[in-house]
Amino acid sequence: MSAVKPILQAKGLLKRYGTVVAMSGADFELYPGEILGVIGDNGAGKSTLIKALSGAVIPDHGTIELDGREVNFRGPEDARNLGIETVYQNLALSPALTIADNMFLGREWRKPGILGSVFRQMDRPRMEKFARDKLSELGLTTIQNIHQAVESLSGGQRQGVAVARAAAFGSKVVILDEPTAALGVKESRRVLELIRDVRNRGIPIILISHNMPHVFEVCDRVHIHRLGRRLCVIDPKEHSMSDAVAYMTGAKLPEGVTEAA
């Protein structure tokens, strides 16, 4: 892996919320074509790290590089324009809007010709067909009506919509923060398959999850976050889940790592 340059890299990220330190010098590397798991205790700063990478949080210090070039995200739209697509824990969906409207929020397709260029009319039929296809790909067949408002969907279906949106539009990196937390057995399985599909398309994935079997099943490397920084990166084929739990809770120190004060 040493010859390959990371596609997304962060160095020394620091973020304070008032007096609370959420990240204290966190490093991060994502290599092309891999699935990277990120695990850690509650409050370890996983979500803040992920939000910094997706533009939702602006770190106080530290640098983020995409494809070897330093980037300064001023907001999620900047990260998204560069091809970083994120599914947040709270899903970031607008309840009153329809499924298709949500999937295309902020990147609506317009009708061809004068209707689109002058009258800015959205191409609803095309957007709805695309949304339907993506949901079917994900196996979300319990969504009966694509014109439904998102608020009428169950928690799992909403998560499915958010995952489908990220998978459909991510071109550089896809970040999934707890993508299977609210999903049923069938849908979780589909999400894991989808994660592999996306990776097979050559797009690397960051998977944040508390579900150890899922993380160990799909990930190529596992980044263990503890106390606002990266503790270590392990290979799931060489470590057991109990090792990982021991590392992230501080029960055991990984080899060659000394706990910072």
Partner 1 sequence: MSTQDTPTKVISDYEATLAKADSTVANFDRDDKSFIHILRNFLRTYPTMIPALVLVISIAVFSIIAPRFFGMGALSTVLKQVTVTGFIALAQTLIILTAGIDLSVGAILVLSSLIMGNLAVVSGLPALLAVGIGVFFGALMGALNGLLVARIKLPPFIVTLGTLSIFSALTLWYSKSESIRNVDIEAKAPELLWFGQSANFGGASLSLGGLTLFILAAVLWYVLNHTAWGRHVHAIGDDPDAAMLSGIRVNSVLISVYVVAGLICGFAAWIAIGRVGSVSPIAFSTVNLASITAVVIGGTSLFGGRGSIIGSVLGAFIVGVFNTGLSLAGVDDYWQMFAAGTLVIIAVALDQWLRRASQ
Residues lying near partner 1 in the complex (CB under 8 A) are found at 56, 75-77, 80-81, 86, 88, 90-97, 101-102, 105-108, 110, 119-122, 124, 139, 141-144, 151-152, 185-186, 189, 213, 216-217, 236-238, 240-243
Give the C-alpha separation, 153 to 104, whole Å: 17
* Closer to partner 1 by Cβ: residue 29 or 85: 85
The 8-class DSSP code of residue 23 comes to E
Least distance between partner 1 and beta carbon 260 (Å):
27
Phi then psi dihedrals of residue 84, to 5 deg: -95, 115
Q: Which of 25, 30, 34 is nearest to 8 (CA)?
A: 30
* Closer to partner 1 by Cβ: residue 110 or 199: 110
Least distance between partner 1 and beta carbon 197 (Å):
16
* Closer to partner 1 by Cβ: residue 6 or 156: 156
Pure H helices in the chain: 46-54, 76-81, 99-103, 114-117, 124-137, 155-169, 185-200, 212-218, 241-249
* Closer to partner 1 by Cβ: residue 157 or 227: 157
Least distance between partner 1 and beta carbon 157 (Å):
11
Burial class (CB in 10 A: 0-12, 13-18, 19+), 164: buried
Least distance between partner 1 and beta carbon 79 (Å):
8
Give the C-alpha separation, 232 to 221, whole Å: 10
Least distance between partner 1 and beta carbon 93 (Å):
6
Burial class (CB in 10 A: 0-12, 13-18, 19+), 212: middle
* Closer to partner 1 by Cβ: residue 24 or 142: 142
